[in-house]
Structure 1
Amino acid sequence: MEYHKFEESTLRGFTESVFKKMGCSEEHAVLAADVLLKADLRGIDSHGVARLTGYVRLWEKGRINAKPNIKIVHETPSTATIDGDAGLGLVVAPFAMKVAIEKSKNVGSGWVAIKNSNHFGIAGYHALMAVEQDMIGFAVTNASPLVTPTFSKERMLGTNPICYAFPTGKYPPFITDMATSTAANGKLEIAQRKGTEVPTGWIQDKDGNSTTNSHGLKEGGALLPLGSDREHGSHKGFGLSATVDILSAVLSGASYGPWAPPFVAFMDPLPNQPGEGLGHFLGAMRVDGFRPVEEFKLHMDNWIERFKNATPISPEQKVIIPGEPELEAEIERKVTGIPLIDAVVRDLNEVADKFGIDRL
């Protein structure tokens, strides 16, 4: 599989141009591109510019509003519900997190439920916005129904990620950002583009049998919850995913469970949806609402140091603190460039030709 490396500025300019061609304002195009590029820089290739063509196709189908009127439809001093007006989740979610942060500044914490949105990129982008304000950030979202509950073969839930981010002192922010399925769908897409199989335990076929075929979803199969099967704790992954779905969609008024609108344009949303669009749930908590910020950061650093120095099984493999691999990738890719496989470059250049902008 051939890779091509691109400078961050090249991909950023290209992505901004595509969003502008879709009708996004300058401000929204810059923000949406920033969310996607943050994923690529942090090594989360499944949620970076490789996703750009998916947003374009949804926009062409009329399922993304490039000029949304994002507004608060219900609120209290510490909570709000936001209608994203079918806008890019890449734009709607940062708007919502700013609301959560302002409420946190005023009353100690802020919690915002969002409906009528679309795929919001990596959850970590939004949670880290709170960290910049010495707050703890929280971000979850529901997603296209691709995951089966334990003991089922029907797709009922999305990959439904959970993210927490904590400020630190001398170390980079501690951030846990993970799907509640065994793997994100984007990783399957990458395997498909590479023509490789996926690990055992990621997916099951249409009959509920384990398979390593990366095209298993397209053939009627389903992703598995975190844990893969009941014997390995899939009921826990199911429970986490269900919690995300309820917070993101049942609470906000978005479409939940099997009615969550699919990210792929060739699949239309199910009729009689009990809700509007995808849903998110974001939160920000002031650290100084619990203890002085500098004390907290000092002890976060102490926590990190102790865990980093936990006795390893093998001297060659140290304990990895959540967020470390992504930071290392970001440092490296800012210097060496962002790698894209041939298939992704091809897809992006087709978009360039469609919109009459320069190819990569």
Structure 2
Amino acid sequence: MIVTETQLRQFTHNIFLAIGCSEGHARLSADVLLRSDMRGIDSHGVARLSGYIRLWEKGRINPTPDIRIVHETPTTATVDGDAGLGLVVAPFAMEVAMQKAEAYGSGWVSVRNSNHFGIAGYHALMAVEKDMIGFAMTNASPLVAPTFSNERMLGTNPMCYAFPAGQYPPLIIDMATSAAANGKLEIAQRGGKQVPEGWIQDAKGNYTTDPHALKTGGSLLPLGSDREHGSHKGFGLSATVDILSAVLSGANYGPWVPPFVAFLDPPTDPVGQGIGHFLGAMRVDGFRPVQDFKDNLDNWISRFKSASTINPDQKVIIPGEPELEAEIDRRQNGIPLVDAVVKDLNELAVRFGLKGL
């Protein structure tokens, strides 16, 4: 099914209003999810909407949170999200980081007591709009086994870095620290497809291509897949995200992070509050004139785009380019939704007495 951005945005906005979100929070939450769908990151867009609603029904998401700063210095802060949607908690924290950067050159904010915050790129790009370099990362439900283990200890723990360019669009590095994001497994499940070897292992630690393996005790693998191919590096990156997002803020970390799926209860022995995020902003002009930086980054991008390739039919892909191409296409041609997602969304419409898709 193909839907327009306007149609899907209004539908999503209405769902968030129906659970009690304020007009501003409903609009912002819908914007975060739609940005994901528009950029072709289908795993983190409206496909997640039913998951948020199930958590709300379980009382694990507060639709009217009192988001507040609980500790700060001139350049740092810790924010308590009051169990709110990460879709609104993270932008609040990034606003704090940017305000501190405006005054002091950089700002760094850790967040506790939050929930899934959508795509990291949304929050990092907020800083780019003010000629700042943006950072955004979050820990997540434990689905990933560290190198040499078959126990789920870490989330997919994404990190994003966003840089303002001049004649080119911003350069955005937005990635999971696991071999693949869990959302890609969900897409494979809905499509009845297998996944590549090296993404996931079964309960005994053997490679499998079954996207349902997590349901039978399997686990995702760190970026690199195994020790011989650098999984210790993915493990290290994921650990960094977990520590900055949660150990630093007072959120749950490692295997204590509450699951995103509502049918699994949070651990009974929490070590913190909710899930954690870490966001940052640095003023480019704290280092050099903004235009000089943008000119040099444009030159960097141009040179890498012109790099010789092994196959003449291929080209070097600059981080963020595929998402930009998807956004241009979907703005013109609409957003494709798989049948399983349409079914989920229409069930939500019935649940709240709203018009379906």
Q: Following TM superposition, where does structure 1 have runs of at least 4 consecutive aligned residues deviating by more than 6 angstroms? A: none
Residue identity matched to 1:165:
A
CA positional deviation for 1:278: 0.5
Aligned with 1:57 (options 32, 39, 54): 54
Aligned with 2:150 (options 142, 153, 161): 153
Alignment of structure 1 residues 242-253 onto 2, 5 Å: 242-253=239-250
Residue identity matched to 2:319:
P
Q: Which runs of 5+ in 1 are unaligned?
A: none
What is the aligned partner in structure 2 of residue 44 from structure 1? 41
Residue identity matched to 2:96:
V
* Structure-2 separation of matches of 1:288 and 1:245: 30
Residue identity matched to 1:60:
E
CA positional deviation for 1:219: 1.1
Alignment of structure 1 residues 221-232 onto 2, 5 Å: 221-232=218-229
1:18-53 CA distance string (max 9 Å, x none) = 000110000000000000000000000000000000
Instruction: Name the SS for the 1:325 alignment partner.
Output: helix
Residue identity matched to 1:19:
F
What is the aligned partner in structure 1 of residue 137 from structure 2? 140
1:263-285 CA distance string (max 9 Å, x none) = 00001110111100000000000
1:205-247 CA distance string (max 9 Å, x none) = 0111000001000111000000001111100000000000000
What is the aligned partner in structure 2 of residue 262 from structure 1? 259
What is the aligned partner in structure 1 of residue 274 from structure 2? 277
Aligned with 1:66 (options 63, 66, 75): 63
* Structure-2 separation of matches of 1:29 and 1:215: 32
Alignment of structure 1 residues 8-19 onto 2, 5 Å: 8-19=5-16
* Structure-2 separation of matches of 1:154 and 1:357: 42
What TM-score, normalized to structure 1? 0.99
1:89-143 CA distance string (max 9 Å, x none) = 0000000000000000000000000000000000000000000000000000000
What is the aligned partner in structure 2 of residue 175 from structure 1? 172
What is the aligned partner in structure 2 of residue 307 from structure 1? 304
Would you say 1:34 and 2:31 are equivalent positions?
yes
Would you say 1:108 and 2:115 are equivalent positions?
no
Q: Which runs of 5+ in 2 are unaligned?
A: none
* Structure-2 separation of matches of 1:182 and 1:10: 34
What is the aligned partner in structure 1 of residue 196 from structure 2? 199
What is the aligned partner in structure 2 of residue 355 from structure 1? 352
CA positional deviation for 1:260: 0.4
Would you say 1:78 and 2:75 are equivalent positions?
yes
- Percent of aligned positions with the same letter in both sequences? 74
* Structure-2 separation of matches of 1:165 and 1:61: 35
What is the aligned partner in structure 2 of residue 119 from structure 1? 116
CA positional deviation for 1:175: 0.3
Aligned with 1:346 (options 333, 343, 348): 343
Residue identity matched to 1:109:
S
* Structure-2 separation of matches of 1:319 and 1:185: 26
* Structure-1 separation of matches of 2:224 and 2:5: 35
Aligned with 1:189 (options 186, 189, 195): 186
* Structure-2 separation of matches of 1:50 and 1:72: 31
Residue identity matched to 1:312:
T
Would you say 1:6 and 2:3 are equivalent positions?
yes
CA positional deviation for 1:314: 1.2
* Structure-1 separation of matches of 2:231 and 2:269: 30
What TM-score, normalized to structure 2? 1.00
Instruction: Name the SS for the 1:217 alignment partner.
Output: helix
**CA RMSD in angstroms, aligned pairs only:** 0.4
Residue identity matched to 2:37:
D
Aligned with 2:326 (options 316, 324, 329): 329
